Amino acid sequence: MTGTIIIAGLGPGADDMITPEVRNAINSATDIIGYIPYVARIAPRAGLSLHPSDNTEELDRAAHAFELAANGHRVVIVSSGDPGVFAMAAAVFEVLETASEAYKAIDIQVLPGITAMLAAAAACGAPLGHDFCCINLSDNLKPFSLIEKRVSLALEGDFAMAFYNPRSKSRPHGFEKILALLQARTSPDQLIIFARAVSTKAQEITITSIAEAQPDMADMRTVVIVGAKATRTIETPDRRYIFTPRSSPSQ
């Protein structure tokens, strides 16, 4: 009997942001596949095999899922956030594209999750309340020039932006260049948000101006949100909110 593959989003970190749909899929699974820290979020139980693997092994991980499902297993591949946003869903379809007919008979479902940029936005207000772009700053799978081009175009259109994977130990300089591009092209008080480990105990949110932003404010656990021109803050006695109004004047 053929098994199934479900690619499920665990949300950004908090257990109470995992949808019941995803929770049910995990409870019915025989096998959980994913990057080590995401599989670590799944409670072990009898009848469930956990298969943690290292980062950058997306295609191997997808191939493993097909192999298990072809043997009748109910496989759940877990991603942080939403599996369709710079995560495992696209990798699974890349493997499916050239797979055998046997693998093509396996039912694949993608279950959405709360993606990091939306959890980060909610944690500080509504900075993505108007049109926005979502850009992966990793140049592992695309030329850096394309990232620069997209950021430039987004600035030209006055989109807010969310940056995933802004900076890692192996890629320390890309974000420096992008920040320099933002500093050269925006007014000094345009706002930027560094949201780290959103919805976990380690959550840290920094709202600052693009002029004052420093490259080391971002790491791999950070999602960066760049405000549009109209993005602004509100101070209350207890908090500081940031939002982008719904309306945009004529340009």
Residues within window 8-47 making contact with its own copies, judged by CB under 8 A: 11, 14-21, 24
Site for its own copies in 89-108 (CB under 8 A): 89-94, 96-97, 104-105, 107-108
Distances (CA, A) of 91 to 35, 120, 181, 251: 13, 25, 30, 40
**CA 140 – CA 130 distance, rounded (Å):** 29
Taking the least distance from each CB to its own copies, the nearer of 46 and 143 is 143
| 98 Cβ contact list (under 8 Å, min separation 6) | none
Per CB under 8 A, does 63 bind its own copies? no
CB under 8 A: which stretch of 183-191, 204-212, 213-221, 233-241 binds its own copies?
Answer: 233-241
Taking the least distance from each CB to its own copies, the nearer of 19 and 183 is 19
99 SS3 class: coil
Per CB under 8 A, does 245 bind its own copies? yes
Per CB under 8 A, does 168 bind its own copies? no
DSSP 134-197: EEE---SSS-HHHHHHHHHHHHHTT-EEEEES--BTTB-SHHHHHHHHHHHHS-TT-EEEEEES
Which residues partner with 59 through β-bridges? none
DSSP secondary structure letter of residue 11: B
DSSP secondary structure letter of residue 225: E
CB of 107 to its own copies, least distance (A): 7
CB 39 within 8 A of CB 78: yes
Per CB under 8 A, does 52 bind its own copies? no
Site for its own copies in 132-151 (CB under 8 A): 132-136, 141-143, 145-146, 149-150
Site for its own copies in 175-204 (CB under 8 A): none
Taking the least distance from each CB to its own copies, the nearer of 20 and 47 is 20
CB of 120 to its own copies, least distance (A): 9
Per CB under 8 A, does 131 bind its own copies? yes
CB of 201 to its own copies, least distance (A): 15
- Phi and psi, residue 128, nearest 5°: -105, 30
CB of 236 to its own copies, least distance (A): 4
